Amino acid sequence: MPKLKIIIVPCVEKGRGGGHLARSTRLAQELCSLGQDARVYMGHGQEFIDGDVESGTWDAVILDRFRTPPGELAHWRNVAPVIGIDEGGSDRANFDFLLDVLPNLEKHSPNIDSPGFLFPQYTQRASAIKETSIGKPRVAVTFGAEDAAGLTAPVCAALLLQGFAVTAVFGALNQTNPVERERLRESGVEIWENVENLGVRLRDFALVLTHYGLTAFESLRERTPVLLVSPTYYHERLARKAGFLTVRADRLLRKLLLNSQIKARLPGPHSLLPLVENCEFLSKKYCVGRAESLAKFLARVEIHGAVCPVCGGKPAVPYRTRARFPNRTYRVCPVCRIVFMSRLTAPPIQYNQAYFFDIYKKQYGKTYLEDFPHLVELGIKRLMCIKKILGKPISSPQTGTNSPKQYSAAQFQPQILLDIGCAYGPFLVAAAQSDFAPVGLETVEDAASYVKNTLRIPCYNTAFPAPLTERFDVITLWFVIEHFEETGKVLSEINRLLSPKGVLAFSTPSFAGISARKSQKNFLKNSPPDHYTVFDPRTIRPLLKRFGFSVRKIVTTGIHPERFPLLGKFVSKCPCLHAFLSLLIRLFRMGDTFEVYAVKKEVRRQRCGQEILLETFIPRFSASN
């Protein structure tokens, strides 16, 4: 596991308590113990041991800021990919990765919603009534490091009247008057101040009274029943959504209503059964399903694709989030309008022999080589489109017919075609049959060897971009371009390798297809984990124009009328409906895949009244971004 440099930025503003700072500090300590370089940053101008935060390269910024202001989030996005923990507010959707440890009321869904991060070593054990030596149930009262609502003293007084043995926990920022504290001590309340690892010590109590936050879930971890006293309506809504039993302590009417509300929940010192049952239910609900701590999870996080893979920039306007899933986030670039994916880790798919046999067979019902004749036939149809653009004679190996147009002898010269991601070479075979000089490029050694030794076609066994020096008349990528993590660099390199007026042709899944229109979230959820980009035929022309290509033709493929909403289930019984929906899909380019045929543009400049033809086009992509 590589050593990561991580900045953790907690919320330290007055009125937000000390829970964010305590969690951030503890998280940094645990990350360091796991071999990572994690540091807590509490404000601009604070210096680290080896310099300021802007110096050096960071792998991730973790914000535990409650609601990070837009300007501050923009600042951190320029430092490193940003991970938000329990973040809310209007900028919640703009994080590279979003993790909710505590349930909240936010509408924008996170990548992961798991209080189980607080319970990495869950063991099932029943709650029990813990009593003092004189038989009174022990109750802990804690409202965080600050207790901004001032609930500790009145809650302790109410519990004493009910016959409980009360322990009041005062945090470092608690503003309770020293006289009030002394009065509580004289009335029999045990006072704890500035307690470290409070969560572990909660197991000795029969009941914990607190507000919604980390302490409530730490009580569940220790199987200690908890009753939440909500200082605001917002806290009460949070408590109810999470399933806790709660009483309202209104700021203005607290002194009048608090005692009666607690009496309603606790009619007697031994009537804790409802709270015990609630504790058991919530412990099983939140504590199972995750075997690692938050620190162990974050210690292996390496965000791939945090910036647009096409234009490569960090625009002033944040990327718009389309969907979030546990290991990936899909967003839209406001500049080039491409839908792209960022991941926490590298994709799990390995491109090897099994990829073309086992995985391919699961999807299509046959192995890649078993489907070889069909793929060759499909390649011949694609080459007919390429021939039209190049001005070559359109002939079919099956019929041998040519178009009536006359061609010069030079046009019959074989033109060099490079197929990137050629697999086992069906398109190369089709190209050879169509009077091209094919060359393959494939990362899988077994496939490249098959092309060279069995098909006798030249093939590079390397990844693209590759250090190639020759020029090509045609470059093709059939369901390959979406696999590149840096698509902009790939398109720039293709432009460099193409001859003037050379043809770029590729196929790819469509974000305008019927499946994506029916449900964008389900479409992206089912998108393979190694597809970094999702192209759209409605935006492909300006996108390719940025890289020096002029789109000549877009072909709608992946026609699936059975996926059409409402009417799709009837197409098998009604051929006319099938034909109508198929036509509709073609007319409005709603196929789930599409093909693009583009030509490398010629750039002309005026100099001294003469028009100069430039063979190379410099795409608008900065490798430094």
**Dihedral over Cα of 532, 536, 540, 546: its sign:** negative
C-alpha span between 371 and 381 (Å, rounded): 16
Q: At a CB cut-off of 8 Å and minimum separation 6, what does 595 contact?
A: 382, 385, 505, 506, 507, 554, 555, 557
Q: Please provide residue 65's backbone torsions phi and psi, each rounded to the nearest 5 degrees.
A: -110, 5
Domain spans in the chain, listed from the N-terminal domain onward = 5-120+296-303, 138-287, 353-395+415-614
Are 192 and 170 in contact, with CB atoms under 8 Å apart?
A: yes
User: In which region does residue 243 sit, left (phi positive, over 0), alpha (psi from -120 to 50) or beta (all else)?
Assistant: left
DSSP state of 454: I
CATH code reported for the domain at 138-287: 3.40.50.2000
Neighbours of 407 (CB within 10 A): 12
Are 239 and 102 in contact, with CB atoms under 8 Å apart?
A: no
Instruction: Indicate the angle between helix axes 178-186 and 152-161, nearest 10 degrees.
Output: 10
C-alpha span between 503 and 519 (Å, rounded): 34
Are 539 and 367 in contact, with CB atoms under 8 Å apart?
A: no
Taking the whole predicted model, whether its pTM rises above 0.75 is answered as: yes
Superfamily holding 353-395+415-614: Vaccinia Virus protein VP39 (3.40.50.150)
pLDDT at position 157: 83
pLDDT at position 174: 73
C-alpha span between 296 and 277 (Å, rounded): 31
Task: Give average pLDDT by consecutive 10-residue segment, the chain, 625 residues.
Answer: 86 79 90 92 54 68 92 88 92 93 92 83 54 71 85 85 87 77 89 84 90 90 89 91 86 46 52 82 76 85 86 81 93 93 77 68 74 92 95 58 39 84 95 96 93 96 91 96 94 96 97 95 92 95 96 96 89 91 93 97 57 42 34
pLDDT at position 625: 33
pLDDT at position 313: 74
C-alpha span between 363 and 529 (Å, rounded): 15
CATH code reported for the domain at 5-120+296-303: 3.40.50
Domain 138-287 in the same topology as domain 5-120+296-303: yes
Beta strands in 65-200 (DSSP E): 82-85, 97-100, 112-113, 138-142, 165-170, 190-193
